[in-house]
Structure 1
Amino acid sequence: MYKFIASIVKAILGVNGAKAKIYGLENVPKEGGFVIACTHNGYIDICNLGVSVLPREIHFMAKKQLFDIKGLGWLITKLNAFPVDRDNPGPSVIKIPRQLIKDGKIVGIFPSGTRSSENTELKAGAVTIAQLAKAQIVPAAYIGPKDVKAVFKREKGYLVYGKPFSVEGGKEGREESIRHLEAELERLTNELKAKHA
């Protein structure tokens, strides 16, 4: 189902010129499980990220409320999304993505929400998951269309992958990796803006 829908999304984005130009794809591991932590400013970035590593599939962490929306919940489940209750996070926040990584899957997390406190929590979450799963994090940044309206206006999208990094053990390792992730997401975003301002 994922590959079928992804091929349709890829075609729609391509026809409208909104399929993101990708940089740094060589930084994405070809096999094994890992975390992709990407900037987030709409839902077109999810589409572009989702098709960027085909034929491999990304399992996206999504807020629980999205699964309660009729039709959307079914669709995003078919697209490998799994729910997270950000208000009352339980063991599943770590358990599900950790198991996915153990099974050699890619877990996609968008640690750039609208609220700064949420940004920090999600970055910490991405780092903690990678640390516990003993997996690498691949930072990524996206600029471009944010919604369908922008897609049909033929706005261009750009996606860049940074170099993967591992999280050292303990609290210090987590804190250092959170700082590194924040710096990388900012650097990659600025790099895209400088190329395509």
Structure 2
Amino acid sequence: MYKLAANIVKMFLAANGSKAKVYGLENVPKDGGFVIACTHNGYVDILNLGVSIYPREIHFMAKKQLFEIKGLGWLIERLNAFPVDRDNPGPSVIKVPRQLIKEGKIVGIFPSGTRSAESNDLKQGAITIAQLSKSQIVPAAYIGPKDIGGVLKRKKGYLIYGKPFTVGGGKEARDEATHLLEQELQRLLVELEQKK
């Protein structure tokens, strides 16, 4: 179903001039499992990120409440999303993405670009998953339409991938990598603004 959805999304975004111009694709590993941590400002960024490296598929981490919405839960599950309980994170928060990465799949996480408590937890989560799965983490940033209204207004989208990095062992390395991820996401947003 991902293939069908990716082709529909690409055509829809392209027809409205909102298919993101992508920079830094050379930074995305060609094979193996890894984490993509991207800024988040709506749901069009998910669509653009999802088709940017197709035919490779991204397995997105999504809040469990989305899976409880009739119809939507069924759909996003078939588009490789998996639920996470942000209020009561259990072992599955780490277990599911680690297994996906072990199978050579890509895990997509959206740690918000803002400095909120949830944002920091999500950045730490992305780093912890990369650390425990001994995989690379690829920072990414998106600027463009946030919703269908923005797409229909033909707002242009821009997406950039930064250089991948790995996380060493221990808490100190995890804290350093979380800080590095935050810096990289901000730097990539600034770089994108200059490329617009």
TM-score (norm 1): 0.98
The corresponding residue for 2:83 is: 83
Write the distance in 1 (CA, Å) between the matches of 2:142 and 2:37: 11
Look up the SS of the partner of 1:93 in the other structure.
Answer: helix
Contact 2:139/2:184, CA 8 A, preserved across alignment: yes
1:108-156 deviation digits (Å, cap 9, x = unpaired): 0000076710110000000000000000000000000000000000000
Write the distance in 2 (CA, Å) between the matches of 1:115 and 1:180: 14
The corresponding residue for 1:138 is: 138
Write the distance in 2 (CA, Å) between the matches of 1:4 and 1:133: 30
1:2-29 deviation digits (Å, cap 9, x = unpaired): 0111110010000000000000001000
| TM alignment of 1:30-109, pairs within 5 A | 30-109=30-109
Q: Which amino acid aligns with 2:73?
A: G
Write the distance in 1 (CA, Å) between the matches of 2:89 and 2:36: 20
Distance 1:191 1:41, change over 3 A: same
TM-score (norm 2): 0.98
* Residue 194 (structure 1) shift: 1.8
1:55-90 deviation digits (Å, cap 9, x = unpaired): 000000000000000110011001100000000111
**Structure 1: gaps spanning 5 or more residues:** none
Write the distance in 2 (CA, Å) between the matches of 1:114 and 1:85: 20
Quote the sequence identity (%). Answer: 76
1:31-62 deviation digits (Å, cap 9, x = unpaired): 00000000000000000000001000000000
Whether 1:156 and 2:139 are equivalent positions in the alignment is: no
**Structure 2: gaps spanning 5 or more residues:** none
Q: RMSD of the TM alignment (CA)?
A: 0.9
* Residue 195 (structure 1) shift: 2.0
Look up the SS of the partner of 2:107 in the other structure.
Answer: strand
- Deviating above 6 A after TM superposition, structure 1's stretches of 4 or more consecutive aligned residues are none
The corresponding residue for 2:127 is: 127
Look up the SS of the partner of 2:22 in the other structure.
Answer: strand
Equivalent pairs counted in the alignment come to 196
Distance 1:71 1:147, change over 3 A: same
